[in-house]
Amino acid sequence: MKALVFHGPGTKSWEEVPDPQLVDATDAVVRIDATTICGTDLHILKGDVPAVTDGRILGHEGVGTVLAVGSAVRNIAVGDRVIIACISSCGVCTYCRSGNPSHCLADEGAPGIGWILGHLIDGTQAEMVRIPFADNSLYKLPAGVPDDAAVLLSDIFPTGFEMGVRYGRVKPGDTVAVVGAGPVGLAVMATAGLYGAAQVIAIDLDQNRLELARTVGATHSVVSGTDAWKQQVMDLTDGFGVDVAVEAVGIPATFQMCVDLVRPGGTVANVGVHGKPVQLDLQDLWIKNIAITMGLVNTDTLGMLLKLVAQRKLPAEAFVTHRFALSDVESAYETFGDAASTKAIKVLMTG
């Protein structure tokens, strides 16, 4: 088969590789019908994720059709159309059973990390992929849910909801500021209403993304490149600051923006993937009763979010702005990597 193979920071190629095979009785092999690119893939190419080694097939999001299953797989069958969760979980280890499958201890890739696809084992930007722990890592798709909506449930919608909304402790009536209107930030905005947020403020440099934000759940938008951006947010909260500030970019400046915006007793929910250290001014923050949360998505809400997408209660299709053939994946990377010019939000690649 062909796949997108990582060859060190800044280098990748679409090339011939061996077809995936069943290794364990809990495995499945899935033909990729649709996949996409995550901001984390760009971080890998920058060298921010050194655990990804030369020769790794990239990608951790996808929708496909099951081609083969191991003898111990009970709930997934050949021919099923499935969503591939970005987290692979055994379902029985201490972390899986305590609600943290993102730290699955199963000996697959490396014990203690559930994000293995496109990271520690070969991923989904390929014609086929091997999926460990198929019963826990694949979700059957109901009829009527298109690929361009389903693929967003692999990662960004669960990440936005779990890390931004749930970890952010959003409550009915809260004001939520989301710094960064990229795909995951938009997913936070689209799901904040599930927990009753009264105001959702999108903050970004890109006017195009702010316009999209207003269509998927944001009630207000603020251009962060202006001198008045902070005052505009404060004016929406009677000067107190927001209840929840969500960092959805992954750079020190945007984390600091969230710290500056949150009110005493509020929460800063870090969702972005950081490649550099961030300064934390505890000498100023300790007295403000602020909680700071962070983490890797568990995808334990994927099934619930799938029900909402199936009932057209989440605007998943609105996130896909560009479409490519899977064989044109390198052009897709160019488009996604230059999102400021191309206005790309999510790029869909179909087999």
Rounded to an integer, the average pLDDT of 208-223 is: 96
Going by pLDDT thresholds of 50, 70 and 90, the confidence category of residue 210 is very high
Instruction: Give pLDDT tens digits for 126-172.
Output: 999 999 999 999 999 999 999 999 999 999 999 999 999 999 999 99
Q: pTM (2 decimals)?
A: 0.94
Query: Where does the pLDDT of residue 110 fall: very low under 50, low under 70, confident under 90, or very high at 90 and above?
Result: confident
- 3-state SS assignment for residue 66: strand
Q: Tell me the CATH number of domain 2-155+298-350, given options 3.40.50.620, 3.90.180.10, 3.40.50.880, 1.10.3720.10.
A: 3.90.180.10
Please give the average per-residue pLDDT across 194-198, as a whole number: 98
Q: Same CATH fold, 157-293 and 2-155+298-350?
A: no
| pLDDT given at position 168 | 98
Could you tell me the CA-to-CA distances from 271 to 105, 115, 251 in Å, in that order? 23, 15, 11
Closest Cα to residue 73, out of 94, 56, 90?
90
CB 158 within 8 A of CB 305: yes
| Helices of type H across 26-115 | 39-46, 94-97
HSE-CB at 136 with a 13 A cutoff on CA atoms is 22
CATH number of 157-293: 3.40.50.720
Write down the domain spans for the chain: 2-155+298-350, 157-293
What share of the chain has pLDDT > 70, as a percent? 100
**Mapping DSSP to helix (H, G, I), strand (E, B) and coil, where does residue 203 land?**
strand
| Residue partners of 46: CB distance under 8 A and separation at least 6 | 9, 10, 275
